[in-house]
C-alpha cells in the first residue's frame, strides 16, 4: 500500500508570519489538529495543537532527531500571548515529509525514526496531503505495534 492511497488530501496552511491565535482558530474552524506553515507558498514547517498548548523548540540542528527537545519556546503553557506570538517562532521545523509514492511501511518507519505523528506528503515543493499515525494504524494494524515500540523506546531509552 502506498502513502497516496491513505493520505488526507485536505491540508490547512498558514503563512509563517501569521500569529499563533489565528493559526489555532484555523485548526478549530477546519476541525484539524495541525496546520502546514508556508513561506512564499512553499511548506517550511508545521504547527500542531500540542505546539500551541505546550510549545516546541524550533531548530535546525541536523544532529538531533526531529523535532528535537521540548525545552524551548512555549506558548500557552508559558503564558505567552498567542496573538503576539508568530507561528514562525514556535513551528516545528524542518518539516517532516514523504512522497506520495512511498510505501506505508516507509512512512511508518520515518515517523518512528523522527518521533513524529504526522508526515506532510509532498511532490517536489507541492503539498499533496498529510498522513498520520492514526491513518496507518487503521489501515495497517501490524505496523501500529512497530510505531508504538519505537516511540516507547525513544521516549524512555533515548
Would you say residue 154 has pLDDT above 80? no
39 neighbors 15 (Cβ within 8 angstroms): yes
Q: For the domain bounded by 3-157, which CATH number is listed?
A: 3.10.580.10
User: Bridge-partner residues for 103, per DSSP?
Assistant: 2
Query: 48 near 33, Cβ under 8 Å?
Result: yes
How confident is the model at residue 144, as a pLDDT? 63
Domain positions in the chain are 3-157
Cα atoms in the Cβ-side hemisphere of radius 13 Å centred on 95: 25
Residue 72: pLDDT band by 50, 70, 90 thresholds?
very low
The answer, yes or no, to whether residue 135 has pLDDT greater than 50, is yes
For residues 66 and 116, the answer to whether their CB atoms sit within 8 Å is yes
State the DSSP code for 101.
Answer: T
For residue 152, what is the enclosing H or E element?
Answer: helix 141-157
Reading the block at residue 106, the C-alpha cell is 516507509
C-beta separation of 121 from 129 below 8 A: yes
Q: Across residues 32-55, what is the average pLDDT?
A: 88
Measured on CA atoms in the order 8, 25, 78, 84, is the torsion positive or negative?
positive
DSSP 8-class letter at 70: S
Mean pLDDT of 29-48: 92
Is pLDDT larger for residue 56 or for residue 116? 116
pLDDT band at 65, cuts 50/70/90? very low
116-133 residue pLDDT tens: 889 999 998 899 999 998
* Euclidean distance between CA atoms 44 and 91, whole angstroms: 9
Among all chains, which residue has been given the C-alpha cell 506520495?
A: 100
Residues 13, 37 contacting (CB under 8 angstroms):
yes
Contact by Cβ (8 Å): 31, 55: no
Amino acid at each position: 500500500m502506498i502513502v497516496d492511497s491513505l493520505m488526507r488530501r485536505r491540508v490547512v496552511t498558514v503563512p509563517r508570519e501569521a500569529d499563533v491565535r489565528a493559526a489555532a482558530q484555523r485548526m478549530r474552524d477546519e476541525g484539524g489538529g495541525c496546520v502546514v506553515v508556508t513561506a512564499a507558498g512553499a511548506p517550511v514547517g508545521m504547527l500542531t495543537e500540542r505546539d500551541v498548548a505546550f510549545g516546541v523548540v524550533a531548530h535546525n540542528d541536523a544532529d538531533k532527531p526531529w523535532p528535537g527537545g521540548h525545552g524551548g519556546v512555549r506558548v500557552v503553557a508559558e503564558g505567552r500571548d498567542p496573538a503576539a506570538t508568530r507561528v514562525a517562532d514556535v513551528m516545528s521545523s524542518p518539516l517532516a515529509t514523504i512522497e506520495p509514492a512511498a510505501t506505508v511501511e516507509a512512512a511508518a518507519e520515518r515517523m518512528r525514526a523522527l518521533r513524529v505523528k504526522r508526515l506532510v506528503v509532498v511532490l517536489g515543493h507541492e503539498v499533496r496531503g498529510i498522513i498520520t499515525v492514526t491513518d496507518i494504524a487503521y489501515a495497517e494494524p501490524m505496523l501500529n505495534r512497530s510505531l508504538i515500540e519505537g516511540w516507547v523506546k525513544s521516549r524512555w531509552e533515548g
